[in-house]
Structure 1
Amino acid sequence: MASPRMSVRPGSAGSTSTNSRFSFESRNKSPLSVSSSADHQSSRTSQDSALSNDAHGHSPPTNSWMSARRSYTEPLVKTSSYPRHSAGEEGRQKTLMTPQRLSRRPQSPTGPTFDTMHTTKAPGEAFGNLPKEILLVVLAELKKVHLDAGSQSCSTCWMRDLTSLSLSCKKWWGAARTTLYEDVQLIGNDSILHTKKKLKMKYGTRLKLLRRTLRARPDLAEYVRILKVPAMPDAARNKKDQDEYLDQVASVIMACPNLERLPGFHPAYTHDFPRFVHALSTRKKLQEQVWIISESPLQRQHRYKPSDDSDYLTPVIAPNSLLPEQSIGFLMFHSNWSHLKTLVLHCNQGGIIDSPLLIDAFKQLPALENLHVSSFSESSFNDNTLLSLPPLKSLRLDNLPGVTDNGLTSFASAGKSDSLKKLSLISLPLLSLPVLARLFSHLKSLTHFTVSQVPSPSLPAGVDIFLHPYLASSTLQNLHWEFTNPEDNTANEILSKSISFSGFPALKTLRAPTDSDGSLQRLCKPRHRIELPKDRSRSVGSRSGTPLTPLSPSTPSMPFAAPTRPWSAGTGQSGSRNSNYQPSPTRSAFSRNSENKSQHSTESNVQPMGMSLATARRIAQRRIDAAVSQPQYHIIIWDEEGQFLERFAVGGFIGDLGSKINYSLRPDVDGMDEAICGIEGAGNLLDGGEETNIGDGCTGTWNTEAGERSKGKGKDRWWHTERGRWIEMPLEKLF
């Protein structure tokens, strides 16, 4: 008998009496409830099954009302039809549900997922699924730990760690192999154990072992992009040994089909046919090349006078033109460099390259972007050569007497200069301010500009400036402004007025080592300290025979020191001067003629000198300290009775608070005293002091634990031949 709370629902069309359902009219369903509809349908279905079981005597002893309750997260599965138990009995439907507490994981409310099992990953499977790019990033950080400035390690220890890591598993081997062979760094002397005992060679043992590996494993040789070979060994004293060492380097280069860079190794080129240059010429993916042109033993020399009325000058010895086979050989070396982006050309004393030959060489370099030319004579590089340059992004002209004001103006006016972003004019005879104004106005993409020379450019006679800014560039961001003649400050005055009248709206960094009166420093953002701690320990006393430059009354007195860059006599290519100065062999005829003229035309042979960066920083710091001691205004506080309480000094600084320009006196390369890095000299491109100086070199003992070091153990495990820490100077620093 049915419960009195339940009533039989009348049958409808298309339904039978045996398929009747019961409804709980007293059950309240909230329309805002998420689970009300599902619970209601589940309850109805469960109650139908329960009542049907009671009617046929199959009801379980449990409470069917409580068992029908479920969570809304449990899925609703399809109903299944059971066969009839007796004649006349129709099939009934039953809902099958799996309780959530019995499933292995929470099931989705959108579908049946109880049949999906959670599988545990095997050890190392997650590491095996890591992409190779992540491992390369980890190895890049490991390289920084070993080779960054201030590290006690060296490249030998770095490559040892990579080798050990590659032996741990195949996954690390794939990433370490790429990092190890992509940038090969062989620095310092070879191990005595290899040179004398095993291979019995005087030098080049590591080069030989590397060549053997690359030849036996071409797949590893394809990874090599950067190759740093040791400098010329001390054991190679004569010409034969040096050529033999260059042949070893050439053999390693030939084993690297994808070589792009050869940093730190730039032997001189004497117009012969060395295997080293030939090996580089065959590398089709080479991106950087440095030519150090020296005197050829087959080159004839001749004497000539700079002018007819200069009888008092010593005749200049200059080489004749190249032989036809020498010109053809130099030109052929550039035929395969379709990817070359950076080219450095520097001429030593006695070296020469004809101007048409340079023009033809530039035409064979379609990807050329950065060009450095220094110390070539007028016949080698002049205005015609300058106008024949391809479109570039960076250009540096250093000590080139053949480049004139008219050539620079024509070059800036040409359409090919629109892509130029960096321009450096070092030690050029640039004497006209209108030329600088044209350069700024015509170079539409210029962001970095450097000018450094002794004489200060000036206005033509009878020309005055009535409208400012006279010098203006809407794109310039970094400016190096240096004229080492302390007697002429015209260019600094015009530049300061141009900046004041918004001539350089995009300027961010200004470096002016010869800002003697501080006019440019006052236009930049104030700085609390510009002096470096090491500047205080340097001796800045007056040098013998060095004139002191008169400073303005507001400028603290400070003697001038070594110049940052030379232009005329008295300074070498490195920009430093000492008591036993000798003329630099790398200067061109123009510099030597200027030296002779000045020595004979003036009563003293003392030339104007610029300031080193250390001295310039000390002078700038003294201006800052003087401004702090002299505040611009005071704030005085009285109480209600008019009695004095406190007084504050405000505005003691030098600079402009609204300026966006940073006044910088830092060098291009950290640790140098010269602002601009060059080809020769300490810390410059051809300086190998960091590699050969092993006073504080690495022997691998830093990796020994403290306990092993105290007991004398572990040395044989970590020790290697002492080698200096080589710091690469990228060629981008030259521009």
Structure 2
Amino acid sequence: MLQLRPGRLHLSPGDAFERHQSSAQVNEEDPTYHSHGAQFDSARINQSIAFRRASLATSSRGRAYDGYEIPRLTKTPWELERYKRNSLWKRTPNDARLPQHVFKTLPREVYDCILEQLELIHLGQHQPCPSCYLKDLCSLSLTSRAWARSTTLQMYGKIWVLGHDPGYRLPKLRVAGTSRLKLLRRTLRERNTLAKVVRELHMPDLQALYCSASIEREEIVDLVASLVMACPSLERLVGFQIPYTHSFDRLSHALSRRTKLKERMWVMMDAYVEEDEDEEGITQGFYHAACDPTERFLELNANQESLSTLILHQESAKPTIDLTYRAVVGTIRQMHALRHLSLSGLSASSFSNLALTALPPDLQSLRLENLSGINDKGLQRFSSSHVVASLKSLALIDLDINRLDVVAAFISPRLPLLEGFTMSQHRAPVQYTGPDTPVFRSETLKRIHWELRSQAGPPPTLLSSFASQNPQCFPFPNGGPVACLATKLLATSIEDCFLPALERIRAPYDPEGLLQTLCKPLDTALLRSAMSLVTTPPRPTSFDQKFSTSSDSDTGSTYSLKQFLSTAPDERTDSVMGSPFSASFDSLVKDTPLTSALAPARSRLAAQARILAARRNPQMVVRVVDPEGNVCLEKSMAGYLGNVQSKIMYDLKPDRNREVVDGDVVDAHEWLAGIDDVMGEWEVAGRYGGCRHAVGGWVGRKAVEMRELFC
């Protein structure tokens, strides 16, 4: 095989021969040549020279010279088919490509739109992965300068501080998992232009690190505080929240110095503070504002003129250091841009009926939860004040409202902008004053969360009418007993078209199915994600022995709810009334372990039981009769529960798909997002998504944002 060296292609055959011969003579005369034991073979060199001469003298037509042939270049398949018509290997002409100046003059909005879609793909799903999102942004920034300008603002405008993978090499620090935070802080301190771009800091991995740490908590807080101080235009701190113990901490001080901050959450918690005897002796008999918890709290909220969302939560019912009325009301009044307010767990001395009238008049969202100082009289007075005129979202949680007219006062024309209403408590309101029955009436209300936990009766059965054991007499023309007076009043208002804009209603405990009857019919009330949990118990039952097939009887398997939902629609047993599965659904609901707690899965089971019960009353019957009048086929179909003409959706999904793992917790809210969700205390680590990044662990963790607390 002939091999031509690129460096010698310009030489003539004579020059090549003379150079080769001269090099051979040099090697032969060199004394070191024979010292290494090498022998010069002149016959082999002559043969090589003759071979080169024969190769160079061969004609371009490929004829052989002295029995040798020159090599030919063989075309590849794509080169042979390139110039054929309709060839797959045909190259795209250069004139079809856009010139480079088009991308340089492309509007900035095009790049921003592409980046928004990229963020929606990675972070808008159920298991988001910020790692993949940041990786794609980094790749786009290396494409061109135009992409670099757009992606830089996107990456540094909303920064995700993620914990590194176990195998990722980063500098070893005293506190493991804070390497990226220190590198980011150094970058922002060195480049002030990038530091001014930062608007949001997302660090849910640092929250998980803080919760699992013991003595390193103070160092983690100091690192986050130093990063906050490096961002002069910071607006939101997402995913990292620590309790406030009425003592000095650097993070609270750093956030109080950010004048453009728009969200702030205060979680008051008691902590043991050692008293200094020298300080006590100096301050004895004198008042110092720096030692007053009220003045210190007001000072930390003095420079928050741009704050639009405020959350105040008291952890303990009887705190050692309690916020005064002046601290709460003074903090709220000095925030002129406040639009979303949440108050929970405050004592009666901190927030009472008088404090309701002191709320700012421009609020758009208000959440009142577990406030012992508020009663029905204060809420009735608050519903007629000018503060509620601007509310678009109102949540009343665990306020122990006893009177129905108080609830009807909020779902009324007094709130002309109200779009979302949430009521969640244990006891159902039953009392009302006045000769007339209260009516829920609103022209703008779109969403209702109606949760009365006392109506969570025994597991539903297909043969029951879903009525309570102790029905109350309802003052309506029909005079029939009902399980819940408040739920019946809401259903009557919907049926009478007093809520024309209503689009979604979520009623976890609908004992009679009154609200479900007024909504759109559901094909199934069960979620596909919970199919593996809702199955027939493994222990044998009478139904298993009766309806198990011959092939399944040997293995001992049973017909479960998971098999029922995975069956094709034309083969599902619930399409025909009186099927064996519908008969066994009662025992399935009773034996399901999830029914022991007030979980969303139980509400979905009850709704599914009502759907199957309604299918026993078909809307039409198909009969096939022969010429002699004999019925050959009779089939009932089209039985459903709901109103086809309704535009209201019966929602059975909790906020952020929140499920309670511990079935013994009865008083926990499984449906509404709370302070614990924002603090990140309910996440479970150790799961991995499709991208193989940890979901709910150190990587790929998405925290519940503060705005999700408002419906």
What TM-score results when the alignment is normalised by the length of structure 2?
0.66
8 Å Cα contact 2:207/2:241 also seen in 1: no
Alignment pair present for 1:422 and 2:393: yes
Q: Does residue 470 in structure 1 map to residue 462 in structure 2?
A: no
Q: How does 1:142-153 map to 2 (within 5 A)?
A: 142-149=118-125
What is the Cα deviation at residue 171 of structure 1? 1.3
Seen in structure 2, the aligned counterparts of structure 1 residues 460 and 169 have a Cα distance that, compared at 3 Å, is closer
Aligned to 2:200: 226
* 1:660-718 superposed Cα distances (whole Å, 9 cap, x missing partner): 221111112135452211112xxx2222565x7244279x778xxxxxxxxxxxxxxxx
Secondary structure, aligned partner of 1:215: helix
Task: Please say if residues 141 and 147 of structure 2, whose CA atoms lie closer than 8 Å, have aligned partners that are also in contact.
Answer: yes
Q: Secondary structure at the match of 2:395?
A: strand
Check whether the contact 1:560–1:615 (CA below 8 A) recurs between aligned residues. no
Contact 1:226/1:261, CA 8 A, preserved across alignment: yes
- Which residue pairs with 1:141 in the alignment? 117
- Note the 1:63-102 alignment, pairs <5 A: none
SS in 2 for 1:729: coil
Q: Does 1:667 align with 2:663?
A: no
Change (3 A) 1:528 1:122: closer
Cα separation, partners in 2 of 1:560 and 1:400, compared to 1, 3 Å: farther
Q: Could you tell me how far 1:228 is from its partner in structure 2?
A: 1.7
Alignment of 1:2-401 (within 5 A): 123-149=99-125, 154-189=129-164, 197=172, 202-229=176-203, 230-232=205-207, 241-298=216-273, 325-349=292-316, 350=319, 352-391=322-361, 392-401=363-372
1:696 to 672, 688, 698: 688
Distance 1:638 1:631 in 2: 20
Alpha-carbon shift at residue 331 of structure 1 (Å) = 0.6
Three-state SS of the structure 1 residue aligned to 2:409 is helix
Greater length-normalized contact order (CA 8 Å, ≥ 6 residues apart): 2
Aligned partners of 2:601, 2:257: CA distance in 1, in Å?
45
Name 2:74's counterpart in structure 1. none
Confirm or deny: 8 A CA contact 1:281 1:334 kept in the other structure: yes
Unaligned runs of 5+ in 2: 1-94, 276-288, 456-469, 471-482, 538-584, 661-669
Give the drift of 1:196. 5.3
Query: In 2, Cα distance between the equivalents of 1:200 and 1:366?
Result: 43
One-letter code aligned to 1:359: V
Distance 1:733 1:267, change over 3 A: same
Shift of 1:515: 0.3
Out of 436-445 and 638-647, give the one that drifted further.
638-647
Deviation at 1:298, TM superposition (A): 4.8
State the 1:730 CA deviation: 2.4
- In 2, distance between residues paired with 1:521 and 1:210? 52
Deviation at residue 532 of structure 1 after TM alignment: 0.9
What is the rounded CA distance, in whole Å, between the counterparts of 2:106 and 2:416 in structure 1?
47
SS for the counterpart of 1:400 is: coil
Q: Offset at 1:347?
A: 0.9
Question: Higher mean Cα deviation, 158-167 or 391-400?
Answer: 158-167
Matched, 1:452 2:424: yes
Q: 1:120 to 1:696 in 2, by over 3 A?
A: closer
Secondary structure class of the residue paired with 1:269: coil
| One-letter amino acid of the counterpart of residue 449, structure 1 | F
RMSD: 3.5
Q: Which amino acid aligns with 1:207?
A: L
- Residue identity opposite 1:679 in structure 2: I
Q: Is the 8 A contact 1:540 1:615 kept in 2?
A: no
1:406 to partner: Cα distance: 1.1
Partner residue of 2:382? Answer: 411
Q: Aligned residues, how many?
A: 513
Separation in 2, partners of 1:624, 1:190: 47
Equivalents in 2 of 1:653, 1:130: separation in Å? 54
Deviations 1:492-524 (A, max 9, x none): 222222222222122111111110111111111
Report which stretch shifted further, 664-673 or 637-646.
637-646
Alpha-carbon distance in structure 2 between the residues aligned to 1:458 and 1:122: 71
- Label 1:247 to 1:217 Cα distance change in 2 as closer, same or farther (>3 A): same
Letter in 2 for 1:535: A
Instruction: Specify whether residues 121 and 701 from structure 1 end up closer, same or farther in structure 2 by C-alpha distance, changes over 3 A only.
Output: closer
Moved more, 153-162 or 345-354: 153-162
Structure 1 residues 559, 641: CA separation in 2 closer, same or farther (over 3 Å shift)?
A: closer
* 1:710 alignment counterpart: none
State how far apart, in whole Å, the 2-side matches of 1:120 and 1:185 are: 40
Equivalent AA in structure 1 for residue 227 of structure 2: V
Corresponding residue to 1:527 among 522, 526, 549: 522
Partner-residue secondary structure (3-state), 2:372: coil
Range that drifts further, 226-235 or 277-286: 226-235
Q: Which of 484, 493, 509 is equivalent to 2:504?
A: 509
Shift of 1:169: 2.2
Contact kept in structure 1, 2:201 and 2:236, CA below 8 Å = yes
Would the aligned equivalents of 1:196 and 1:202 in 2 still touch at CA under 8 Å?
A: no
Counterpart position of 1:653: 640
Residues 325/252 of structure 1: CA separation in 2 closer, same or farther (3 Å cut) = same
Q: In 2, Cα distance between the equivalents of 1:628 and 1:526?
A: 11
**Whole-Å separation in 2 of the counterparts to 1:410 and 1:181:** 47
Q: Tell me the percent identity.
A: 35
Distance 1:147 1:661, change over 3 A: closer
Contact 2:229 2:254 survives alignment (8 Å): yes
Asked if structure 2 preserves the Cα contact closer than 8 Å seen for 1:398 and 1:428, the reply is yes
SS in 2 for 1:231: helix
Asked if residue 678 in structure 1 is aligned to residue 678 in structure 2, the reply is no
1:234 Cα deviation from its structure 2 partner: 5.0
* TM-score calculated relative to the size of structure 1: 0.64
Residue pair 1:343, 1:368 contacting (<8 A) in 2 also = yes
The residue type equivalent to 1:400 in the other structure is L
> What is the alpha-carbon distance in structure 2 between the residues aligned to residue 475 and residue 393 of structure 1?
14
Rounded Cα–Cα distance in structure 1 between residues aligned with 2:450 and 2:648:
14
Offset of 1:195 from its aligned partner? 5.7
What SS does the corresponding residue of 2:408 show, helix, strand or coil?
Answer: helix
Contact 1:195 1:202 survives alignment (8 Å): no
Who is 1:630 aligned against? 617
Distance in 1, Cα, partners of 2:592 & 2:240: 32
Deviations 1:547-586 (A, max 9, x none): xxxxxxxx968559999xxxxxxxxxxxxx9xxxxxxxxx
Structure showing greater radius of gyration is 1
SS at match of 1:278: helix
Measured in 2, the distance between the counterparts of 1:183 and 1:249 equals 16
Q: Deviations over 1:50-95 (max 9, x none)?
A: xxxxxxxxxxxxxxxxxxxxxxxxxxxxxxxxxxxxxxxxxxxxxx
SS of the aligned residue for 1:262 comes to strand
Normalized per residue, the structure richer in helix is: 2
Cα distance in 2 between the residues matched to 1:649 and 1:161: 55
499 and 148 in structure 1: CA distance in 2 versus 1, 3 angstrom threshold:
closer
SS in 1 for 2:232: coil
Q: 3-state DSSP class of the match of 2:678?
A: coil
Query: Is the 1:693–1:724 contact (alpha carbons within 8 Å) kept by the matching residues of 2?
Result: no
Assess if the C-alpha contact under 8 Å between 1:562 and 1:611 holds in 2.
Answer: no
Kept after mapping to 1: 8 A contact 2:447/2:504: yes
- What is the alpha-carbon distance in structure 2 between the residues aligned to residue 458 and residue 355 of structure 1? 32
What letter is aligned with 2:519? Answer: C
Cα contact 1:667–1:675 (8 A) shared by 2: yes
Secondary structure at the residue paired with 2:236?
coil
